[in-house]
């Protein structure tokens, strides 16, 4: 029988999202690390993780990169990393590009499909799907 994680809003050692283009991360937690932008995790099972969006400092100016904000923009390269909650070892990651969606600055849902042979991924953005 598979495991089910509770829905949460915040940071975790088990899941994070990195905007590789703008160099900021969301949802990360670890020694000396507590991301200002947090993740809204709607559900998490062995086969699917559904992210409902972002919280915390989402949309605020990024103090490490003046002139930028903690947001996703069309064309940003995004990496999603998942770690095994029992072992802390990487279960896999995906890298995708944020697609365009008129007047929609954030994803309404990101879904990760975890397969036996690694991490299969689908990144679902409002009105746009990129893989």
Q: Range with the lowest mean pLDDT among 5-9, 63-67, 101-105?
A: 101-105
Mean pLDDT of the residues in the chain: 77
**Cα separation of 43 and 23, whole Å?**
26
- Give the model's pLDDT for residue 46: 80
Indicate if the pLDDT at residue 130 is higher than 80. Answer: no
What pTM does this model have?
0.73
Residue pointed to by tokens 């994803």 = 107
Q: How confident is the model at residue 101 (pLDDT cuts 50, 70, 90)?
A: low
Mean pLDDT throughout 29-40?
92
Sign of CA dihedral 67, 70, 75, 77: positive
User: Is 35 in contact with 15 (CB distance < 8 Å)?
Assistant: no
**What domain count does the chain have?**
1
Q: What is the pLDDT of residue 41?
A: 94
In this predicted model, what pLDDT tens digit does every residue of 5-20 receive, in sequence order? 789 999 999 999 999 9
The whole domain housing 105 covers 4-130
């Amino acid at each position: 029988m598979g495991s089910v994680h509770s829905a949460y809003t915040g940071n975790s050692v088990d899941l994070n999202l990195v905007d590789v283009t703008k160099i900021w991360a969301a949802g990360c937690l670890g020694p000396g690390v507590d991301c200002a932008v947090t993740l809204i995790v709607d559900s998490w099972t062995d086969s699917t993780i559904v992210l409902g969006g972002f919280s915390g400092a989402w949309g605020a100016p990024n103090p490490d990169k003046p002139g930028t904000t903690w947001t996703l923009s069309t064309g940003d390269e995004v990496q999603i990393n998942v770690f095994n909650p029992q072992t802390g070892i990487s279960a896999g990651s995906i890298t995708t590009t944020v697609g365009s969606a008129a007047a929609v600055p954030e994803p309404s849902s990101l879904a990760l499909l975890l397969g036996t042979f690694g991490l299969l991924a689908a990144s679902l953005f409002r009105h746009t799907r990129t893989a």
